[in-house]
Structure 1
Amino acid sequence: MSSIPFFGQIKISDEAYTVYQKIPQEKIYVHYNSNFLLTGESLIYKIYCLNTSTYLFSDFSQIAYIELINANKERVLKQKIRLKKGIGQGDFFIATDLPSGNYKLIAYTEWMKNKNSFYEESINIINPFTQKIATDTINSKNSSILKKDILPLTTKNGFLETNKIHFSKREQVTLNFNENLINRTSGNFSISVRKTMPNVSSEKTTPLEFTQSENHNKLENHNSENKIFLPELRGELIQGKIVALDDEQSIENKAIGLSIIEKNGIYKIVNTKKDGTFYFNLPEEYASEKAIVQILESNKNDYKLIISESKSLDLSSLKFSAIKTNSQINKSIRERAIYLQVENAYNELHQDSILPPKQVESLFKNALINYKLDDYTRFNTIKETTVEVIKNTWLTKEGDNYTFHVRDNNLHTNYQTKPLVLIDGYIINNHNELVDFNPKLIKQIAIIRNKYKFNANIYQGVISVKTFKGDYTPSSNEKSLSITLFKPLPIKKYYSKNYTNTDLKRVPDYRTQLFWNPNINLTEKNITFFTSDVTGHFETILEGFTNDGKPIYEKIIFTVK
């Protein structure tokens, strides 16, 4: 079994390479909640994928990647994010066994890899339970902790203001948007409200600084020999190739199937190129962790199936620095570690909710003839069920091999062209698999009588079987490749404490991240959230880009006493 990302480079002609160089490039900006985190906390983020020339939201790539890199330039974690009109979101938990140190947060699309271009920011992570951090003797007078007498109320844009400056514990905060400015500022924005910390890290890059940065604007060609990374234009891209075990066998125009087995199973059929390569596009959302790839040819045993592996970015330019603290910072770390332990103890009371994947619409929904088997007499075999229940289908047998057939809408009988047969989205190449299946496990059988074409493959109708559990297990006799899918993150709705619920009054509340919303609607007059039992200064940061490519950034600070 393979557990791999599914990408590779392809070589193109000189003419195609000239066209490629004229295609708009992309860059990514990430709004994230903090560049100073403790193990056991979460980094929450929103991705903005932009056209490098116009800074308009890019609708080119549909998938982005985000990684955390350690000082040895090793990947600590990697996530895949779906993009919708250039926008994506996600989060990751900082594992409690991660050592303290300076890390890099990088983000990119497959298309950006052609220029070895990626978003980069430093993230300092402290593990307060296992390691002691080097301490500098810094005078507390020079500490960057905000004092009351220098407390800024707002930055110059004036998009935001709180209903007051000072709040009590567990008090509702109202964040008002300036209507005159907001009415002229349509776009996509995110907001974070978090307790400020002494500056162990440098200031995060703002959207304005990002758009003006030469490092992000200078994109040099990083490929040779006319090789390019394919963009993920229509969703996830899974790439592979077949290799002939006998040099006499052709590897061109061979049918390859991909199946994701679940209640609303997903299936794809493509044909190989001249060099044996094939590509599957997966725009659909799915729940399963695995997919099955198979060669849909009668001589499939004459070939070997290979899934392409991902080529990593060149990270040689990354530079890391040691973390140093002072006594005041260490005191804040110890305090925050205590808050964190209490919060994690009550984690089940304030979990984020994961939105379910969108239902996959059948390609044949308007042509399906459904047979729910519980509405009919149940038979002990598929052969009996086919004869007694499923109209306009029949079986033939040659030697030990059965073949299903579907009569078309004109009542014509076609013995030469087989139907497409599916069980929970799994493509049944050997019809004996369905003949031998237990019909008592089947919820329904759907028939399509029309002729269907998938790429170069023509099928006389479709027989689609759904089991009760949507968990069909293919026959072990079938030659196929099971792969572990590198799934995009599901979309979350982030938890927000609400003290109008009196049941929460006895529960400790030591949140330092008071609010996070990756999709702020600025047409609303205000948003509300509640403070916690943690006192101190809290920063509210609004970031994003307007629909005409202008960066937006605003920070205001309030106190909780």
Structure 2
Amino acid sequence: MVKAFLTAFFYLGFCFSFCLAQESIFSGKIIDSVTGDYISGAHVFIPNTSYQTYSDSTGTFILPDLPLGYWKLKAFASGFEMKELELRLTKSTENMDISLEPKTSFAPIQKSISGKKLEKTVALFIASFLGIEDPKNSPHISLVNPEALIFENKGKEIQVSSEEAVYFQNSETGYLVTTYFEPFILEKQNFKPVADYVYFELDPNSKEDREAIRTKQLRLFENSAEYQMIRLLSGETEAFTPAPQPKVFYGDQPGEYKLTFNQPTSTTLPNGQQVSFSYTGEELALKSNGAPVFPDQLKIDGEIEPNSPIFYLPSNFEGEKILRLKNLEKTAEGLQERIYVHTDRGYYWPNESILFKAYVRYGNVAFMDDLSKVLHVELLDESGYQILHRVFRIENGLATGFLTQEKPLTRGNYILKAYTAWSTNYGDDGAFHQPIQILDWDDFPPQTVLESESTGVSFFSNKQSYGPNEKVVLNIMAQNDQGKPIISNLSVAVLDLNQTQPFWEPQGISEALALQKPSLDLESFANESEFGITLEGMVYDLDQRPIGSDVELLINGLEEKIELKTGPDGRFILPDRQFEGEFEIAMKATSRVGRTSKSLEIQPFGVDITLPRFDYPKPVIASNNFLSKEEIASGLGMDEILMEEAIIESTRENKVGPMPYGTPTNVVDPSTLQLNGDTQQFLFLLSSQIPGMTVRGTPPSVSFRGGEPLVLINGVPAAQAGTPVINVLSRINVFTIERVEVVRGLVTTLGDQGRNGVISIITKTGPAYDEAIIANMNSFQSFKFEGFPSAEELKDQIDAANRPGQIQRPVLYWNPNLVTKESNLSERIEFMTGKVAGPMWIEIRGISEFGEPIYGRFLINGN
């Protein structure tokens, strides 16, 4: 009975920390203690773990996912002494600047060694450092940067040291291990170097490599002290003698435990090694993965790890998750992913970012590490045409992000679609859809019936009513049925009802995240889980037919070069790429047919998922224009001025001669566009250069005056007016277009054919035409993409949304990262009211510690 209770106790604690681990964003600056200058490239890390980061050019460092609790942290920069600090993280954000002392001694004089003698000396170092006889017996361990080693004569002996980090790669465990060690004599026997170790998990090259690495990791974990402590935490005492009789209590921080047992107690590891355990103090403080909070507190009798730490795993390795996964049957029900997206609002005006928090719920939380790490978010028009597609990292079932569009979206109805590659295997249930409206500046959302409701979340405020530009303090509470505080992860939006209205949700968080019982066979699933960005490329002949080809890719200039072959269908996949921010890939294709065209995109999924139909509300004319010129001008900074609207038109010498439409409204030079050869892409880029040109639908349609314009090619009508522009342009290689002239209004000289305006294509001729074809065939074509947004980008977007004093503030407060704790009654948030006092609407969404959706809608200041 006791064992069953302890097992359930620890399993629940494991699941809670797995889903909603209480973590801190620990940040600060690295500073030269003498000059006060900021230090870039400093390494900030927790020894013997995978928690690490580097300072940027401003000296700023960020450790974004450091669990709350006690840690020993170190910081190192070239030319400075190593600094050690003790941390006790208790809040979701912690900030501390770290000063480093410049070194006062110079590097020793390097012993002159070359050729085979150098190889032998390096091999001797590896053997000594790893505690092995011959490095050749451990081919999976490699020294990455032997040039960092400094060999120095000490009489007849050789001392080895390093002024920088030394890197070892372990291909069996999948880690790159960074080490900093104190100098030592190479010939010294039976010696363990004094060193710090920090781990970076490498991406496996293939699924087979991933499985092999996981098998090795499990074998090491089952022979580790951490696993033996987990066994005691869960009540598995049969293999210990004498009987330890463990008792378990909650620790000082979520995810920490206190363990007592009769000591010493011994056990035999799977590798046959016998060890015994004891501890100092009244109780042993442990983290959820079995690692001691204070490493020196656990005493081990027997060599549990006879070799160097480079052979083993970081102390924060979550091996228990993999063990549970190993023993669970994989089914479509247990592997399902359900998605819900909470946007900061539903009504937007042009140029505004769409901020969101996404929640992913799993059929079985133990499978989380094997499931999706990439969330796809698309913005579609009502017809389903994709206007925008971005990807975001999923961490612990959560993703935070934003959508921005270079070209302002036109007034209309849109759909936000969110999915993962794996979730699309579940058909129409595999994506989340949320309607969104873009309004004109003189539009206002229709009045909404406001009905407060709540499940698992509530709040209290510091006042009953608020005036203009006044601070509001709210205390958010997440509670269970008995009213006790619980751990939860929330997103909170506060709307100013003077400037916007709540948007209805066709599917609430409870419904969206409700687990299904799919009648599916895993063997029928077409898409695997994504662990990084997947790029899909295609190669075509000049008739747009896919062809096999040799492809060469240059990633971000010369950062990485990849050579591959496409399949006969002209397609190739570049999976699991970890790009952050904007990245660029240059692509070259060589085929036996000679001339080719190419395309490259971040691969979308779920194109077959049925798009739901929504009944959108009709906006109303705003009773007052809250963005008048005077108000905009009053909000300008010292260095900003308000200019009159201007349309900038590019011009170019006309080489074809007089056209029947006279002077065009706009002229576009395609060389200024980032073309990839795709006709649809060309059409949308063209529309971004021409005010009043609307492109939407699949296949896309063009409208100037309510219908498709007439297309001229070198002054000759290519089809009748009303013929879809895409049908005409598909016959043209877009790289051969010299310029595009556009008339958006009626062209009387063309009679009825000019009723919807004109798109006039002037193509290159002679050598210019040949050069365009050859350039497209033989040179690299550049493609630019947006990868995962960085932590800095996300922070900037949230800070901009919450900045007071702005004229237009439909959302007074947006926080996608509010975490409540069971130890606190509530979590406090603060924001400023708008320039006009009025009612405010609070929208709260989130997941409780039990993985259950919680939500609330509340009206304040309504009187």
Per-residue CA deviations over 1:117-144 (Å, capped at 9, x if unaligned) read: 2101222332245x899x9xxxxxxx64
Contact 1:40 1:340 in 2 (8 A): no
Give the greater-gyration-radius structure (CA): 2
Is 1:489 aligned to residue 789 of structure 2? Answer: yes
Distance 2:508 2:591 in 1: 54
Match for residue 261 of structure 1 among 556, 564, 584: 556
Match for residue 76 of structure 1 among 379, 387, 407: 387
Letter of the 1:168 counterpart: G
5+ residue gaps, structure 1, are: 1-17, 136-142, 245-250, 350-474
Give the direction of change, closer, same or farther, for the CA distance of 1:219–1:96 in structure 2 (3 Å limit): farther
Is 1:186 aligned to residue 487 of structure 2? Answer: yes
- The residue number in structure 2 matching 1:362 is none
Contact 1:497 1:530 in 2 (8 A): no
1:115 partner SS: helix
Contact 1:189 1:544 in 2 (8 A): yes
- The residue number in structure 2 matching 1:122 is 435
- The residue number in structure 1 matching 2:847 is 545
Letter of the 1:120 counterpart: H
Distance 1:99 1:483 in 2: 26
Per-residue CA deviations over 1:402-453 (Å, capped at 9, x if unaligned) read: xxxxxxxxxxxxxxxxxxxxxxxxxxxxxxxxxxxxxxxxxxxxxxxxxxxx
- The residue number in structure 2 matching 1:324 is 618
Q: CA RMSD in A?
A: 4.9
Match for residue 462 of structure 2 among 153, 158, 163: 163
Give the direction of change, closer, same or farther, for the CA distance of 1:294–1:52 in structure 2 (3 Å limit): farther
5+ residue gaps, structure 2, are: 1-328, 542-547, 639-774
Please show how residues 79-118 of structure 1 align to structure 2 within 5 Å.
79-93=390-404, 98-116=409-427, 117-118=430-431
Match for residue 338 of structure 1 among 618, 627, 635: 627
Contact 2:342 2:357 in 1 (8 A): yes
After TM superposition, give the deviation of residue 69 of structure 1 in Å. 2.1
Is 1:511 aligned to residue 809 of structure 2? Answer: yes
After TM superposition, give the deviation of residue 166 of structure 1 in Å. 0.8
Distance 2:444 2:461 in 1: 38
Distance 1:556 1:132 in 2: 21
- The residue number in structure 1 matching 2:178 is none
Please show how residues 426-441 of structure 1 align to structure 2 within 5 Å.
none
- The residue number in structure 1 matching 2:534 is 237
Per-residue CA deviations over 1:251-293 (Å, capped at 9, x if unaligned) read: 99x9x7754336xx74365876998976434443444431135
Is 1:196 aligned to residue 471 of structure 2? Answer: no
Distance 1:306 1:94 in 2: 21
1:208 partner SS: helix
Distance 1:340 1:529 in 2: 26
Give the direction of change, closer, same or farther, for the CA distance of 1:91–1:339 in structure 2 (3 Å limit): farther
Distance 1:35 1:337 in 2: 19
Give the direction of change, closer, same or farther, for the CA distance of 1:311–1:267 in structure 2 (3 Å limit): same
Q: Please report the TM-score for the alignment, with normalisation by the length of structure 2.
A: 0.37
Contact 1:50 1:57 in 2 (8 A): no
- The residue number in structure 2 matching 1:292 is 586
2:415 partner SS: strand
Distance 2:529 2:636 in 1: 39
Give the direction of change, closer, same or farther, for the CA distance of 1:340–1:477 in structure 2 (3 Å limit): same
Q: Please report the TM-score for the alignment, with normalisation by the length of structure 1.
A: 0.54
After TM superposition, give the deviation of residue 46 of structure 1 in Å. 1.0
Give the direction of change, closer, same or farther, for the CA distance of 1:86–1:227 in structure 2 (3 Å limit): closer
Distance 1:286 1:96 in 2: 22
How many corresponding residue pairs? 376
After TM superposition, give the deviation of residue 59 of structure 1 in Å. 6.0
Distance 2:431 2:497 in 1: 28
- The residue number in structure 1 matching 2:832 is 530
Give the direction of change, closer, same or farther, for the CA distance of 1:22–1:55 in structure 2 (3 Å limit): closer
After TM superposition, give the deviation of residue 34 of structure 1 in Å. 1.6
Contact 1:168 1:560 in 2 (8 A): no
Distance 1:227 1:158 in 2: 38
Give the direction of change, closer, same or farther, for the CA distance of 1:180–1:45 in structure 2 (3 Å limit): closer
After TM superposition, give the deviation of residue 82 of structure 1 in Å. 2.1
Distance 2:820 2:448 in 1: 31
Per-residue CA deviations over 1:91-131 (Å, capped at 9, x if unaligned) read: 235788644443222111122223332101222332245x8
Structure with bigger helix share is: 2
Distance 1:340 1:119 in 2: 39
Distance 2:627 2:856 in 1: 30
Distance 2:422 2:630 in 1: 41
Distance 1:156 1:172 in 2: 27
After TM superposition, give the deviation of residue 510 of structure 1 in Å. 4.2
2:376 partner SS: strand
- The residue number in structure 1 matching 2:356 is 45
Distance 2:832 2:405 in 1: 25
Distance 1:125 1:32 in 2: 14
Contact 1:510 1:533 in 2 (8 A): no
Distance 1:188 1:57 in 2: 17
Contact 2:345 2:811 in 1 (8 A): no
Give the direction of change, closer, same or farther, for the CA distance of 1:226–1:202 in structure 2 (3 Å limit): closer
Distance 2:629 2:342 in 1: 23
Give the direction of change, closer, same or farther, for the CA distance of 1:285–1:219 in structure 2 (3 Å limit): same
Give the direction of change, closer, same or farther, for the CA distance of 1:30–1:159 in structure 2 (3 Å limit): same
Contact 1:28 1:49 in 2 (8 A): yes
Distance 1:103 1:204 in 2: 14
Letter of the 2:614 counterpart: F
Letter of the 1:260 counterpart: I
- The residue number in structure 2 matching 1:389 is none
Letter of the 2:560 counterpart: Y
